[in-house]
Structure formats: C-alpha cells, structure tokens
Amino acid sequence: MSTETPSRKPDAREDDELPPFTEQLSQQLGGVKGVVEAAVPITLFVVLNPLLPDRMGPLSGLQWAIVISAASALGIAAWRAMRKESIRHALNGLFGIALGAFLAWRSTDARDFYLPGIIQGSVYGVLLIVSALVRHPVIGWIYAVVAQGGKKEWRQNKPLVDILSRITILWGAVFLAKNAVRIWLYWIDADNALGLMTLFGGWPVTIALTAFTIWAVRRHMRSVESASPSEA
C-alpha cells in the first residue's frame, strides 16, 4: 500500500503541470481581451488609411489615421491603468504604434507605419533559429518560465530539448517568411496589402503557433507518462 501512494503522486503532479502551461501561455498573449486590444490600433490604421480622403481640415487622411490609431493605443493603456489591470501588453503595443506613427508622420508614407514591426519580426526570426541551432531554444526558455517556474530541468531532457528546438525553428521560419512577404510589399509600395498582411499575419499566426506549441509539448508529456515504469 505504501508503494502505491508515491507512484500516484508524480502522475497527478505531471497532470497538474499541463493546464498551467496552457493558462500562462494565454497570459503571455494577454488572453483573449489582450489579443483584441492589441489588434485595435493596427486595425484602425489599416481600415482608415485607405478610406479617409487626402485632406480633412488641418491634417491629411494618413495623419488622421495615425492620430486615431495612436489615440486608441493610449486609450487602451489608460483604461487598463484606471481599472488597475496589467498594462504590460498595452505598453508593448503602444511603443510599436508610437514608433511607426512617428516614422509615417515624418515621411508622409503609410508604409513606414509598419517598418518597426517588419524589422522587429525579422530580428525575432533570426534569433529564434540561432537559439535553436545552439541548443538553447527560446521557446524552451519560455516553457521553463511558464510551466516550470524558471527551473532548468528541461535542459537535461534531450527529447524535450529536441522538440522545443524544432518548434523554435518553426517559429523562426514563420517569422522570417511572413516578414519576407512584408518587405516585398513594402518594396513595391503596396501599403494597403502591407496593412492586411500585418493584420492577418500578426496575432492570428501567433495564436496558431502558440496552440501548436502547447499541443506538441502536451503530446510529449503524455508520451513520457505512458512510458513511465510507475504505470506498469
């Protein structure tokens, strides 16, 4: 009897480890609310820029689109602060919007609104792939923080490191591919198509990659459990 109790505890603990990974990854994205809020400023710019007339009073249509987009990002951050909610995700989005707005306002070129995101995404793609090639996959370290409280035990689990390295390479390849398309659209001066690519290649792709990551890690953990001698 005393031997059965220890064999059950690890299983229960491992089962309990999986949901927090899902929940905290959701928190990393800011949850559904955070994803929607992050998409509002860029969506406003993508929609308003081609619809507004060339001139509206003292500002051009592009400038009005920039002002409304930046104001929405500020408004979301202020609303979160008033409600004493985390403004980390709002501030991250606000910085990117502010930099893009500054560049587009200065150059009067709508394409420049997306330039910081293009550069940032390309750098992320390279760093993700390099981290996997040197066997320190970024997604693995995120997994360690989210699912294991920052512990480094995953580094001794070679199959898990292999899986997380492949997943990290996938993330990096997707980032590089979508930003290659955005660079091409920027180059050919297709600002409206660039906006749509930014919108639909942003959070939807990140959510899909996150879901795949969760599924792959959970699948690995279940396979480890099923192969565990404690179940035999």
One digit per residue, pLDDT tens: the chain, 232 residues?
444 444 444 444 444 444 455 555 555 555 556 667 777 888 889 999 888 888 888 888 899 999 999 898 888 888 878 887 766 666 666 777 888 999 999 999 999 999 999 998 999 999 999 999 998 999 888 877 776 666 777 888 888 889 999 999 999 999 999 999 999 999 999 988 999 999 888 888 988 898 888 888 888 777 766 665 554 4
The answer to whether the CB of 196 falls within 8 A of the CB of 39 is no
Model pLDDT for residues 177-192, shown as the tens digit of each residue: 999 999 999 999 998 8
Model's pTM, two decimal places?
0.75
Contact criterion met (CB below 8 Å) for 144 and 161: no
What are the angstrom distances between the C-alpha of 182 and each of 91, 116, 123, 143, 200? 24, 12, 14, 29, 12
111-158: per-residue pLDDT in tens?
999 999 999 899 999 999 999 999 899 988 887 777 666 677 788 888
Tokens of 156: 């001794």
Q: What is the DSSP letter of 113?
A: G
What residues contact 17, with CB distance under 8 A and at least 6 apart?
Answer: 147, 148, 221
∠ Cα 64 66 68 (to 5°): 65
| E-strand stretches of 140-205 | none
